């Protein structure tokens, strides 16, 4: 007959605010805010994922070419190789 109504009015979400934990930039390793659009250290516009610079599609690290548009990607050489 009568549905129970949960009163959520005035519920305080303080303490449940979206975490702004830091994540390492995939390009330089610098820890930056998880919601950052740019890495402040290396100025990458995609600190947490690789994107094709031509079509902006997200691609896997180490791809030689973009699977979407076929553009050649810059391959970062492994650290330690001199
Ligand atoms: Zn970076
Ligand atoms: Zn592409």
pLDDT digits (tens, 9 = 90+) for 2-47: 556 555 555 555 555 555 689 999 889 999 998 888 899 999 887 8
Q: From the CA of 30, which ligand is nearest?
A: 1
13 CA → ligand 1 middle, Å: 32
* 12 falls within a domain: no
- In this prediction, residue 48 carries a pLDDT of 87
Domains of the chain: total: 1
Domain assignment present for residue 13? The answer is: no
Report the C-alpha gap between 22 and 30 in whole angstroms.
9
Domain range spanning residue 23? Answer: 18-76
The reply to whether 25 falls in a domain is yes
Q: Under a CB-based contact definition with an 8 Å cutoff, are residues 71 and 55 in contact?
A: yes
Ligand at minimal distance from the CA of 67 is 2
Helix (H, G, I), strand (E, B) or coil at 65: strand
Give 60's contacts (C-beta < 8 A, 6+ positions apart).
50
Position 58 in a domain:
yes
Q: Could you tell me the pTM of the whole model? A: 0.47
pLDDT in tens, 37-74: 889 999 988 788 888 888 988 888 788 999 999 999 87
Distance of CA 73 to the CA centre of its chain: 19
| Residue 39 included in any domain | yes
Quote the pLDDT of residue 66.
Answer: 93
Q: Is there a domain that residue 68 lies in?
A: yes
In a domain, 3, yes or no: no
The answer to whether residue 1 sits within a structural domain is no
């Amino acid at each position: 007959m009568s549905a129970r109504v949960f009163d959520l009015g005035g519920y305080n979400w303080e303490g449940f605010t979206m975490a702004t934990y830091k994540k390492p930039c995939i390009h330089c390793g610098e820890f930056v805010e998880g919601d950052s659009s740019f890495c402040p250290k290396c100025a990458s516009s995609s600190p947490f994922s690789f994107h094709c610079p031509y079509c902006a599609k997200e691609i896997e690290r180490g791809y030689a070419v973009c699977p979407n548009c076929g553009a050649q990607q810059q391959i970062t050489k492994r650290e330690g190789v001199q």
